[in-house]
Amino acid sequence: MTSETTNSKQSGRALPSMSVLGPILALVLLVVVGALLNPNFLGAANITNVLARSAFIGIIAVGMTFVITAGGLDLSVGSMAAFIAGLMILVMNAALPSMGVGVPIILLGMLVAIVAGILAGLLNGFLITTVGIEAFIVTLGTMGIYRSLVTWLADGGTLSLDFGLRTFYRPVYFDGILGISWPIIVFALVVIIGEIVMSRARFGRHCAATGSNEHVAHYSNVNVNRTRLITYALLGLLVGVATIMYVPRLGSASSSTGVLWELEAIAAVIIGGTVLKGGFGRVWGTVIGVLILSLIDNILNLTDLVSPYLNGAIQGVIIILAVILQREAKAKG
Amino acid sequence: MGETVSTPTLELCDIRKSFGPIEVLHGIDIALRSGEVHALIGENGAGKSTTMKILAGYQPATSGKILLDGKEVTFDSLHEGEEAGIVMIHQEFNLAEQLTVEQNIFLGRELRKGWLLDKAEMRRLTRSYLDRVKCRVHPDTPVSKLSNSDKQMVEIAKALSRDARVVIMDEPTAVLTNREAGILFEQVRAMREAGTAILFTSHKLSEVAEIADQVTVMRDGAVVRACPASDITEDEMATAMVGRDVSDLYPKHREEAENELALSVSGLDVPGFAEGISFDLYRGEIFGIAGLIGSGRTEAMEGLCGLRPATRDAMQINGQDVSIRKPSDALAHGLCYLTEDRKLRGLLLERGMRENLTLQALPKFGTLLIDRSAEEKALDQAIKDFDIRAGRRDVKVGNLSGGNQQKLLLAKVMQSEPKILIVDEPTRGIDIGTKQQIYAFLRRLADEGHAIIMVSSEMQELIGMADRVAVMRTGRIAGTLSGKDITEDAIVRLAMGVGATEYGAKKELA
């Protein structure tokens, strides 16, 4: 038990130290370890690679932060991404004869992804808030539905974007401004906006209130159902955005696209210090969570110290450790 | 009673307790004797809860001795306290909500026949315990389906089942109606006859006078008075608790009320709870709503404010027809409801004061982004206006005392600048000093021209504060009393449905 007099001066700043510093320290530690193990680790090429790969999960995880903060959960995002990618490819291929290769058809594909994402998110949100089924069950169901739909659309194989289109679309993943690739720029924008909304806007406050105690929120003039519905729609939108960035990378979608993304996104959110049962969330923490997960993967691939096949095991240990550290910080506070 | 000089069953000697460098208990002596009911009273924050937790083994003392049957003991865990026959019944119940009554009563010490549970015997015993407390719930009912008063009875049945030698009850009557409290007291007397030592806390001094043999009064972490109950009057108890005279608990009524109509509602129906509620509310008036718990008071008010589905024939605010379907409609018309349940519906306990204060009125604090410095200013003002004593500014609201939570809740509701304020049990479970402050605040608000509806189970409070009182029974207004007609007797008669017509009750439509 810390003394209350010494606390009173700097309490607000000093109190959350472990839960705030923990993820940051872990990230710094990983960077140091990576740099020591492999000189290429801090090279521009590797950093760009790590960040670009983090962007998909990262963009989704920002949306997941809002859903979890408001007391919800979404297991369907990985399947949803695969389904949206498949849908996008089908629509673009179908429109190709009439529209030809060009900017309009790419915009059409993006529009499809965004609209499909929002609709899929709204469907989850509607079933959870209006119909009143638990989030875990609803999204477990839609997870299966979207996964099955994309498999069916691809007829068990792979949906490929037309070769000409693919060449035209490629720069959206591989190019950028000032040497920073598009996915990283979009990821950064999503994070900045997300952080401001979470910590400074009314919506973020409403999410935290809803997740903390929905009765109190209701009695305090917070529209609980609408707040939740918006978090799911927002997540759907961000899944759409992530898919837009993802499709040009491989130019295809199959039943194995986006597998386990939902768990990686949830893990990143939790490592970042958002409380799984809701009521408290921070977007910047989620970013650190995403980076920690990607760096582990990256370091294992760059060095032959530990088999890359153990990636999952190490990530698992990190997730559990993160929660234990947070709990101890809480107990002390 | 109390003349016996037997060894106390459980005794605290010079107990001190510190949290960090702050000492909260300064040498407490208290002795619980077999066959004696001991009342521990004091304002919120006086140290009653901590004292009880040390008695029950929930928390260790920093220094001092705990004597069980005259022998020094240390309880390292709650379990050891229970082993020694000490049972504590919390204000927030300690029951597993999803389990049935029977499973709860035998939780952790299930009876077995060989490898299997002996359900028949447990059922029989459960029935007998419930009968002893005159509780009619079925042993198979899940606890989550019970009312608060039934939960209280189940807790007591559980204590009975453990053959407790010492029973410690934290405000057992706070959630009970008078009749249920009567049953509880019968049971307390029966336990006393059986030789149990009983300690309870209460903010209702009349109860203390009625049932206690010994009274210990605490203030600021110390015992300021300890004597047989027969040696102290209720007034003296209150004075000892607060440390000053509190005979002027209620502010003066207003000489004459204004006749300007603030709110008029007719035919308010809240499906399943209330029917045909009609009344007029004038500016500058405090309108009381009485009735037993379960009479639909709270639900009717929540329906009025759009917090739960309701229909109405007509509703006017300041002479204008209004339609209120959701809480934001009510707020837009300056109508605001302060919940009876500050912990579950009023405040985010895990959050700080600033976020709680502004939650209901967030649009006031910035359009696109929230203006934190404006929030901080509002908090400064609220702490000053409502005399909120928090110690630290960033304290989690759950760690505030009940009285300070209630003041914060009031401050929060006032952030939305209501013209018509509905307060539901505004002083439940808070100390007399804070009550006085809240009463004064409500009266001042009315004098400034606001209209106030006060829902309360405490008849003294209604008599002391309200200009008129509507009494509800089974979802309807059984009658309305005003001026000198507001008496305890009249309220009880209307609430219980006896001799209602004498008091000019409206005809029931039935």
Predicted confidence band of residue B501 (pLDDT cuts 50, 70, 90):
very low
Which member of B21, B348, B416 has the closest CB to residue A213?
A: B348
Nearest to B328 among A2, A202, A221 (CB): A221
**CB within 8 Å: A11 and B21:** no
Q: Check: CB of residue A197 under 8 Å from CB of residue A94.
A: no
Instruction: Tell me the C-alpha distance between B82 and B59, whole Å.
Output: 13
Interface test with B, best of A8, A13, A216 (most B CBs within 10 A): A216
- Complete edge-to-edge strand list for the sheet that includes strand B286-291: B335-338, B420-424, B451-455, B286-291, B468-473, B476-482
Closest CA to A50 of A306, A269, A291, A286: A291
Q: What residue type is assigned to position A162 of the chain? A: D
Q: Which residue among A5, A212, A215 places its CB closest to the CB of B345?
A: A215
* Per-residue tokens: B348: 């985010």
Residue type, A304: D
Q: Span B197-223, mean pLDDT?
A: 88
- Kindly report, residue by residue over B169-203, the tens digit of the pLDDT: 888 887 777 777 888 888 888 888 888 899 998 87
Tokens of B338: 């302060």
Task: Say what angle helices A224-250 and A44-69 make with each other, to 10 degrees.
Answer: 160
* pLDDT score of B505: 40
Of B48, B64, B60, the residue nearest B12 (C-alpha): B64
Q: Which of B17, B23, B308, B348 to mutate to test the interface with A (most CBs of A within 10 A)?
A: B348
Average of per-residue pLDDT values in chain B:
85
- Please indicate if any CB of chain A lies within 8 Å of the CB of B347: yes
Between residues B396 and A63, the one the model is more confident about: A63
Q: How far apart are CA B312 and CA A7, in angstroms?
A: 53
Query: Encoding tokens for residue B358?
Result: 């502004």
- Indicate whether B469 pLDDT > 70: yes
Q: Which residue of chain B is at minimal alpha-carbon distance from A11? A: B394
Q: Which helix (H) or strand (E) holds A127?
A: helix A103-129
Chain B residue at shortest CA distance from A222: B360
- Quick one: tokens of B440? 């004064």
Per-residue pLDDT tens for B33-69? 988 999 998 876 688 888 988 888 888 888 888 888 8
Asked whether the ipTM of the predicted complex exceeds the cut of 0.95, the reply is no
Between B432 and B317, name the one with better pLDDT: B317
Q: What does the angle CA B447 – CA B487 – CA B44 come to, to the nearest 5 degrees?
A: 65
pLDDT of residue B319: 87
CB pairs under 8 A between A and B: 81
Q: What is the mean pLDDT of residues B380-405?
A: 86
The model's confidence at residue B343, banded by pLDDT at 50, 70 and 90, is: confident
Q: Which domains, ranges and CATH numbers included, belong to chain B?
A: 10-242 (3.40.50.300), 248-334+418-510 (3.40.50.300), 342-416 (no CATH)
Tell me: pLDDT of B500 over 60. no
The answer to whether the CB atoms of B392 and A15 lie below 8 A apart is: no
Distance, in Å, from the CA atom of A283 to the CA atom of A62, rounded to the nearest integer, reads 6
Q: Measured between alpha carbons, how far is A100 from A88 in angstroms, rounded to an integer?
A: 16
Q: Which residues of chain A have pLDDT under 70?
A: 1-19, 327-333
CA neighbours closer than 13 Å in the CB half-sphere of residue B256: 3
Phi and psi based region of residue B258 (left: phi greater than 0; alpha: psi -120 to 50; beta: remaining): beta
Instruction: Flag whether residue B350 sits within 8 Å of chain A, measured between CB atoms.
Output: yes
E strand or H helix at B37? strand B37-42
Per-residue CA distances from A59 to A56, A236, A318, B461 (Å) = 5, 11, 21, 56
Which residue intervals of B307-425 are DSSP H helices? 327-332, 353-358, 372-386, 402-415
Q: In this predicted structure, what is the pLDDT of residue A99?
A: 86
Percent of chain B with pLDDT over 90: 27
Write down the residue that tokens 């521990």 correspond to: B40
pLDDT of B274-293, one tens digit each?
999 999 999 989 999 998 77
Stretch B303-312: mean pLDDT, rounded?
A: 92
- Token output for B387: 């005399």
Q: Does the pLDDT value for residue B451 go beyond 90?
A: yes
Dihedral, CA of residue B13, residue B19, residue B22 and residue B23, to nearest 10: -10
- Whole-number pLDDT of residue B503: 40
% chain B with pLDDT above 70: 94
The alpha carbon of residue B427 and the mean position of all alpha carbons in its chain are separated, in whole angstroms, by 7
CB contact B121 to A (< 8 Å): no
Establish if B331 touches chain A: CB-CB under 8 angstroms.
Answer: yes
User: CATH number of the domain at A42-288, please?
Assistant: 1.10.3470
Which residue ranges make up each domain of chain A? 42-288
Statement: residue B245 has pLDDT above 80: no
Mutate to test the interface with B, among A7, A192, A203, A220 (most CBs of B within 10 A): A220
